[in-house]
Amino acid sequence: MTAPYSELETRLHYQFRDPALLELALTHPSVCYEQNLATRTNQRLEFLGDAVLQLILTRELYQRFPNLGEGPLTKARAKLVNGENLAEHGRALSLGRYVIVSRGEEMHGGRDRVSTLSDTFEAVLGAIFLDGGLDPARDFVLTEFASAFAEVSEAPGIENPKGELQEFLQARSTEAPEYHLVSAEGPDHDRVFESVVRHSGQELARGRGKSKKAAESEAALEALKRLRANPPPPPEEVQHAD
């Protein structure tokens, strides 16, 4: 395995037994089209990776959220696997740096296309599945999507924890919740952020995630759980003099 691919394996937290599978997963279809050759590309691995991703996320959502019905579970899964979201995962792994594209695709910024990054992410997952089986594929997916699960609630109505928390609090006060970054730990490619949410000067909860947004969402979700388990007293009504 060449040095650049070894660096990618470190980012993936997986070492390939068959390096050719990773190289194939990184081979964009433009290489075949431009050179008019029967070159193998990552399209078949993308097809496989998509199915593996759906299976792993479906099982995880099913087990994590026993109170969610089919509709909310389907919506949650669709949000996790949409192209923009997968492209963000690909970007965080720096897949654009490693993907093998044609000269024309390179000139037109193909390395950073949403479709390129999302397709390559799925192809890499397919390659991990073929190389090591379901267990390492599952480990990879759950590591990548750990913070995203913070945005899924056991209550079907909570799809936007920060928005729900603000509505909950504004029913009792005109003051909005405030979010503050507490810490950011780990290397650049695998950072973990911790955020705190406060209201009226009091800390409501903390959350952790692979991005500031995910950490804030987790903090909001935890705050909602605590407030709904122990709701604050209703706001006092204004006393009018007789």
3-state helix, strand, coil in the chain (%, to 5): 60, 10, 30
Q: Which of 23, 60, 105, 122 is catalytic?
A: 122
Examine the residue annotation and report whether 122 is marked as an active-site residue of this protein. Answer: yes
CA nearest 42: which of 113, 122, 110, 108? 122
Helical pair 43-64 and 134-144, crossing angle rounded to 10 deg = 70
Given a contact cutoff of 8 angstroms between Cβ atoms, the answer to whether 214 and 147 are in contact is yes
Within 10 angstroms of residue 93's Cβ, the number of other Cβ atoms is 20
Own/partner pairs, 127-131, CB within 8 angstroms, 24+ separation: 127/16, 127/21, 127/22, 127/24, 127/25, 127/45, 127/49, 128/12, 128/14, 128/16, 129/48, 129/49, 129/52, 130/18, 130/21, 130/45, 130/48, 131/16, 131/17, 131/18, 131/21, 131/22
CA nearest 129: which of 119, 120, 140? 140
Q: Which of 50, 60, 119, 218 is catalytic?
A: 50
Examine the residue annotation and report whether 159 is marked as an active-site residue of this protein. Answer: no
The phi, psi pair for 37, rounded to 5°, reads -120, 160
Active-site positions?
A: 50, 122
